[in-house]
Amino acid sequence: MAMMTAVEAAVRVLEKEGVSVAFGVPGAAINPLYAAMRAHGRIRHILARHVEGASHMADGYSRAVAGNIGLCLGTSGPAGTDMITGLYAAIADSVPILCITGQAPRAKLHKEDFQAVDIEAIARPVTKWAVTVREPGLVPRVLQQAFHVMRSGRPGPVLVDLPVDVQTALIEFDIDTYEPLAAFKPKASRRQVEKALAMLNGSERPLIVAGGGIINADASELLVELAELLGVPVIPTLMGWGAIPDDHRLMAGMVGLQTSHRYGNRTFLKSDFVLGIGNRWANRHTGSIESYTEGRRFVHVDIEPTQIGRVFNPDLGIASDAKAALELFVEVATEWKAAGKLADRSAWAADCLHRKEHMLRRSHFDQVPLKPQRVYQEMNQEFGRDTCYVSTIGLSQIAGAQFLHVYRPRNWINCGQAGPLGWTLPAALGVRAADPDREIVALSGDYDFQFLIEELAVGAQHRLPYLHVVVNNSYLGLIRQAQRGFSMDFEVSLAFENINSPETGSYGVDHVAVAEGLGCKAIRVKSPNEFKEAFARARALMKEHQVPVVLEFILERVTNIAMGTEIHNVTEFEEILCLDPSLTLEDSSGSVLQTQPAAAPVARPVDPAGDSR
């Protein structure tokens, strides 16, 4: 045993638990922990410009590499409240991040002291555990428990609040005998797996829905092995995108109201059985439960027992870690295949593949201002199979999911359920801090980009290079499109005549000037014949300067992206491609594919001539 301050013990515990990077902003109430990190630790610190940005950096860091847990640090009061959005984004997508806040001295917690707030109570609804440590000797053990909680069951975030006098108190602690606690993960039984496979085997048109839990469990290879053994097509959710390569013959497309493929929705509507693994049945994936479940039986495998039956009650529920379940599914399926017990799915798989090859959305447009679809087409041609995309919300994310291709797990890093604007930029910095070698491409609309744009300076200061694609229509595009239902276009335009940057026209903020003012590089692209040169130049600038490079594409003001209220009723606003015309017709599955022109907004208070429609 040795005498040390509580925060010295904390730093040693963090290192033993595998923490090597922290994102944060120092302040008076957390300075003791920073002093311990400086004097005794080997944890790299990346200084954010906003504590919410630091929390999203920790989030991106956790998502980038299996086993990572991002650490976010901040002082008392507003630093903790700034972390709340980051904690919400993490718990919504089952991501473990550890937030540590400073706090006023224990004796002043209830005396309205400067920057004293009950962050434990505030954070409780958006964490797996939130705790204010009131006894110095508990600090190392609370952190031990925090890592155990984050890793056990459904992953998620924890907040630990440390009063300043708790941090500086002396305690006895033996780091040499410290060991992390083994995580608990439920496991499926053979009987459960055999029943699920028997149900699947008895169906005619089965599918596997692969959720983000498969990626969290690092079980994507097992998923592909199971799909190939069974010959059953796979529908990845948005959070599970990359669990099976996009060009795999059994990858049947994504399903949903927005981030979906035409062929994915049609295939799902023709199915009669669904094995869901590690997914939540999120509403943007399902639409109405009545339409989604009609005519189908369901098996749901999830690590969190209370997720099973939360959205709808499946025919069979199995509480299990995705990897443990898939190992057993593969074992049983292998035995059944050897015994000739598995049904032949070749005709059904061929049918699904035919739709995938023929039911496409058009992406080649040559006009100026640019159509976003053309940007994604060029990205597909420019970026390789190992490219990691980072995105959060908006028409940029929705169209990206419809047109881009992802081939590996953790190469689509997306804030799915919470979807806070501003998440993309700091999350991309966190991904880069976790992985110095992977090609990272962030994707934002102009509003998402502006929310936490100051974090570009972090990338410049700490040499965290990545490419940030900004598709700029000077609109809150998704909200503008949603306002069509109210026959309005109200307070969603970001356009204005920028007197300092006349070259931007009425597109408002000069993102190139702002990015360069923050120490980064930026390129503006206005026509299709500039694409190749711009991508090549952006890569060269990243390599030369080791800073983020912004690649801004000037879009037409109004482009409506395909979406709908039900998976059988998705409106296609643009011309669609169909190499087999029979697939565009309404069929017995009830799949309706509408094509509707993208009507101009009802009101455009700024620069009406700037709209191309």
Taken as a whole, the chain contains a residue count of 613
**The dihedral formed by the CA atoms of 46, 52, 53 and 55, expressed in degrees to the nearest 10:** 60
Name every residue whose Cβ is closer than 8 Å to that of residue 349 and which is 6 or more positions away in sequence.
231, 232, 233, 249, 250
**CA-CA distance, 361 to 371, in Å (whole number)?**
13
Classify burial at 586, counting beta carbons within 10 Å of its beta carbon; exposed 0-12, middle 13-18, buried 19 or more: exposed
H or E, element range at 285? helix 283-286
Neighbours of 38 (CB within 10 A): 11
Nearest alpha carbon to residue 432 among 28, 43, 16, 46: 46
Catalytic residue IDs: 25, 51, 421, 476, 479
> ∠ CA(224), CA(225), CA(227), 5° rounding?
65
- Residue 534 one-letter amino acid: A
Instruction: Report DSSP state, residue 344.
Output: P
Whether residue 369 is preceded by a cis peptide bond, meaning omega within 30 degrees of 0, is yes
H or E, element range at 270? helix 262-270
- 460 SS3 class: helix
Q: Which DSSP string corresponds to 490-554? A: -S-B--B--TT-GGGTTB-S-HHHHHHHTT-EEEEE-SGGGHHHHHHHHHHHHHHH-S-EEEEEE
Q: Which tokens belong to 447?
A: 């509003």
